[in-house]
Structure 1
Amino acid sequence: MNKKDLKEFLDTKAEFYNHPQFIESDPIQIPHQFTLKEDVEIAAFLTATISWGNRKSIINNAHKMMDLLHNSPYDFVMNHSEADLEPLSAFVHRTFNGHDFVQFIKSLQHIYKNHRGLEAVFAANVDRNSLQPAIHQFKNSFFEIDHLPRTKKHVSDPLKNSAAKRINMFLRWMVRNDNNGVDLGIWQSISPSALSCPLDVHSGNVARKLRLLKRKQNDAKALLELDMALRRLDQHDPVKYDFALFGLGVFENF
């Protein structure tokens, strides 16, 4: 398939899957329940954090997270007492447990009180049209306060060769405005051109079959290779092709 045919194929698939019906089976439905900017971004960040494994389980557990935050995540983050945190200790999603959940709430409060919020801390560290250094700096800021060492594994670091799939997905949700009501696009200070594809087993396998990606491991080096390929197809909105790659892999067994 030449570049022109590949672009037409992926544009068609991206348009097909980047549709409101996509929300019904995707974790992005959780932040869509909120209207306050801070509620949306906190719900999105926590949901993205547990987005690995069975999608139904992810969605069910994300709903449990929101229930434990009284369905007012920003108010809970900013105004919780130690007693309010106790019910969170029973939460578990795979290796993310209640201790991690409590740490995330405390670290999020730190981000909003001392770094002007999630958008500001990411926007301050965009480097050369890439958000990967910003993810690294965000992790440093997130764990500036006293924290459990075990919890650090739940925020990936691209500068340690991680593809950072979940946090790149969160950033896609926040930054990209697709005009179709799927991605939320509530952050105006970061350009969609700086986004990276949330690289996972599905998107990686499809990208290799389409010769967009040669590297076998789904790591930071593979992400850079895929980013460059997708930006050649659309430099302004490269991660729209995440819908195509994911849809082809999950729904069409491409």
Structure 2
Amino acid sequence: MTLSISDVKALMEQKVDEFNRPDFIHDDPILIPHEFSKKEDIEIAGFLAATIAWGQRKSIIKNAKHIIQLMDGAPFDFIINHKKSDLKRTKGFVHRTFNAQDLNQFFSSLQNIYLKHGGLESALSQTKNVAENISQFKELFFLKAESLRTLKHVSDPLKGSSAKRINMYLRWMVRSDNRGVDFGIWNRLSPADLKLPLDVHTGNVSRKLELLQRKQNDWKSVEEISNRLSEFDAIDPIKYDFALFGLGAIEGF
């Protein structure tokens, strides 16, 4: 059965309402930054949780909590003040292909971002073009990288990547709708600038609903589906991430 575009929009609005609520937080990596109230703690904890957000959600949350523990439960203070000798504590950390060497590089790169480049919001919000921002951020983030293997853990949309995890992170930081899930603590970008965090779940549901024609989950598909979602809500198109992800990952649509 093919749904009309009005039926698709109605379904999407219904599912946004169902999933964009505090109950969603408990089984999602966004739980990690919700443990903090200070802007810098939220954005650092969120960035690190989003970085390892692939695989089983229980494993993601468990390992993200471990990262927070390695920072003594104070992300911003640790990032600003840690010394190289403090990085010994990460020995043995691993989440899939992200290991202690990668984590140490992220700690060092974040310290440089905060001490010399105005923090994560400034570094990821140079223009209104999200693809350009992420690509420029990657270059800046790894400017003095000692571990070249770690570069793969930040995607580059200008090289075709869907950049799912950073787009998800940007949704967390930028969207503000008082529903208790996304934070809305960044204001250099608007929700209208955001792109859909495209993965297997959101991609498959988008195609089943005939919102996405392109077969690959790449940046061209991100732009295609994001533009379609803008037809439903030009001001806040990425709220539909809740619907697409919920339908796919939670309801098995």
Do they fold alike, i.e. is TM over 0.5? yes
Following superposition, the deviation at residue 32 of structure 1 comes to: 0.3
- Write the distance in 2 (CA, Å) between the matches of 1:161 and 1:136: 11
Question: What secondary structure is seen at the aligned counterpart in 2 of 1:6?
Answer: helix
Following superposition, the deviation at residue 178 of structure 1 comes to: 2.4
Following superposition, the deviation at residue 113 of structure 1 comes to: 1.3
Question: What secondary structure is seen at the aligned counterpart in 2 of 1:123?
Answer: coil
Structure 1 equivalent of residue 168 of structure 2: 169
Residue correspondence of structure 1 range 205-244 to structure 2 within 5 A = 205-244=204-243
- Write the distance in 1 (CA, Å) between the matches of 2:58 and 2:77: 27
1:29-50 per-residue CA deviation (whole Å, 9 max, x = no partner) reads 0000011111100000000000
Contact 1:199/1:218, CA 8 A, preserved across alignment: yes
- Write the distance in 1 (CA, Å) between the matches of 2:107 and 2:57: 23
Question: What secondary structure is seen at the aligned counterpart in 1 of 2:216?
Answer: coil
Structure 2 equivalent of residue 108 of structure 1: 110
Tell me the amino acid that sits aligned with residue 87 of structure 1.
Answer: R
Identity level (%) = 55
Answer yes or no: is 1:132 the counterpart of 2:134: no
- Write the distance in 2 (CA, Å) between the matches of 1:189 and 1:228: 21
- Write the distance in 2 (CA, Å) between the matches of 1:147 and 1:208: 41
Tell me the amino acid that sits aligned with residue 210 of structure 1.
Answer: L
Unaligned runs of 5+ in 2: none
Residue correspondence of structure 1 range 57-136 to structure 2 within 5 A = 57-127=59-129, 131-136=130-135
Aligned pair count reads: 251
Following superposition, the deviation at residue 125 of structure 1 comes to: 2.7
Among candidates 48, 51, 61, match of residue 49 of structure 1:
51
- Write the distance in 2 (CA, Å) between the matches of 1:220 and 1:146: 25
- Write the distance in 1 (CA, Å) between the matches of 2:128 and 2:113: 17
Following superposition, the deviation at residue 89 of structure 1 comes to: 2.7
Contact 1:68/1:87, CA 8 A, preserved across alignment: yes
Contact 1:125/1:137, CA 8 A, preserved across alignment: no
Following superposition, the deviation at residue 3 of structure 1 comes to: 2.3
- Write the distance in 2 (CA, Å) between the matches of 1:221 and 1:110: 32
Structure 1 equivalent of residue 197 of structure 2: 198
1:32-78 per-residue CA deviation (whole Å, 9 max, x = no partner) reads 00111111000000000000001000000000000000010111111
Question: What secondary structure is seen at the aligned counterpart in 2 of 1:141?
Answer: helix
Structure 1 equivalent of residue 7 of structure 2: 5
Unaligned runs of 5+ in 1: none
Structure 1 equivalent of residue 156 of structure 2: 157
Tell me the amino acid that sits aligned with residue 184 of structure 2.
Answer: G
Answer yes or no: is 1:182 the counterpart of 2:181: yes
Answer yes or no: is 1:27 the counterpart of 2:29: yes
Following superposition, the deviation at residue 24 of structure 1 comes to: 0.9
CA-atom RMSD in angstroms: 0.9
Following superposition, the deviation at residue 221 of structure 1 comes to: 1.0
- Write the distance in 2 (CA, Å) between the matches of 1:89 and 1:142: 22
**TM-score, length basis structure 1:** 0.97
- Write the distance in 2 (CA, Å) between the matches of 1:75 and 1:126: 30
| More displaced 10-residue stretch of structure 1: 184-193 or 43-52 | 184-193
- Write the distance in 1 (CA, Å) between the matches of 2:155 and 2:195: 14
- Write the distance in 1 (CA, Å) between the matches of 2:128 and 2:112: 20
Structure 2 equivalent of residue 144 of structure 1: 143
